[in-house]
Amino acid sequence: MALVEVKGVSKHFGGLTAVSKVDLAVNAGEVHCLIGPNGAGKSTLFKLIVGLYPPSQGSILFDTVDITAERPYARVQRGMSIKMQAPSVFKELPVRQNIRIALQERLSGAERIAEEDRLLTLLNLGPDSEKLAGALSHGQQQWLEIGMALALKPQLLLLDEPTAGMSPDETFKTGELIKSFNAEGMTVLVVEHDMAFVRQVAQRVTVLHLGKIFARGDLKGILQDEKVAQIYLGKTHAH
C-alpha cells in the first residue's frame, strides 16, 4: 500500500518546468531512493512532497489523504519528517536544545531527557551536546538534523542528500542507521547522488531526468539499465 502518492504533479518556475507530470508511489515500509543527474528535479519534487512548494498541477496524497493544500507543519503532524539538503539546524542554540525542540511535543520530563540522551549517543553527539549547533562540523550538523528528523518518530522519513559532506565511513554508518529504522517499520524516501549509498540502502529506485520519471524499479534492474547509465553517469555503467 502506498504511503505517499504523487499524482500528475508539475512545477513551473516562470517558463522553466522543473517537474513535469510526475507520478510516484512510495510504499509503506520501503526505502525508496530518488536519483538522477543534476537538474533532474529531485529536490524540487522533494519540496513539493514536503509542502515547501505548491504544485502547479497535480495532487499529493499521504496515507490516502489529499495533502496538496496543506502547509509543511500539517504534513509533519500527519507523520512526515524531513532532513533538508543543506544542514538546517538552529545554529545559535545548543545541540541538546535542537533535539529537545524536536522531541518536546511527543515526550516530556524524564522520558524526554532519556530519549535526548539516546539520540545524542546514537548520533555520536553526546560529548558535544552543550555546544552550539553552529560550532559542529558539517557532517555533525547533518547527523544532528537526521536526529531531529528521527526525534519525531515519523511514519515517513524524507532525506535530501543525507550524506553530503560526510566521509565514506560516516556515509556507511548513516546507511546502516537508515536500514535499522526501516527494519522497525519506518518508510524512507531518500534523494541521493552517492550510488554506493543507494546500493547500500535502496529497495526501490526512481530515476528522474529533466523533470520527468525516466525509470523505476528495484535496485538491481535500475543498475543494469543501459539508458539509466547513459543519462546518469555518461556511458559508464552505474556499478
CA-CA distances (angstroms) from residue 19 to 23, 80, 194, 211?
10, 21, 22, 4
Based on the shown chain and the rule CB under 8 A, indicate whether residue 77 belongs to the binding site for other proteins. Answer: yes
Q: Binder to other proteins among 32, 100, 120, 157 (CB under 8 A)?
A: 100
34-53: contacts with other proteins (CB under 8 A): 50, 52
Round to whole Å and give the CA distance between 203 and 32. 6
Based on the shown chain and the rule CB under 8 A, indicate whether residue 93 belongs to the binding site for other proteins. Answer: yes
Based on the shown chain and the rule CB under 8 A, indicate whether residue 63 belongs to the binding site for other proteins. Answer: no
Q: Which of 69, 133, 63 shows the shortest CA–CA distance to 102?
A: 133
Based on the shown chain and the rule CB under 8 A, indicate whether residue 90 belongs to the binding site for other proteins. Answer: yes
Q: Binder to other proteins among 27, 68, 85, 97 (CB under 8 A)?
A: 97
Based on the shown chain and the rule CB under 8 A, indicate whether residue 198 belongs to the binding site for other proteins. Answer: no
C-alpha cell at 215: 525509470
CA-CA distances (angstroms) from residue 151 to 82, 86, 100, 119?
11, 19, 9, 8
Helix 109-122 with 138-151: angle, nearest 10 deg: 140
Taking the least distance from each CB to other proteins, the nearer of 132 and 229 is 132
Which stretch, 11-19, 88-96, 192-200, 209-217, contacts other proteins (CB under 8 A)? Answer: 88-96
Taking the least distance from each CB to other proteins, the nearer of 164 and 210 is 164
Q: Binder to other proteins among 148, 178, 190, 228 (CB under 8 A)?
A: 148
C-alpha cell at 157: 522519513
CA-CA distances (angstroms) from residue 193 to 23, 112, 159, 173?
21, 35, 12, 17
The binding site for other proteins (CB under 8 A) comprises: 50, 52, 71-74, 76-77, 81-82, 84, 88-94, 97, 100-102, 104-105, 148, 152
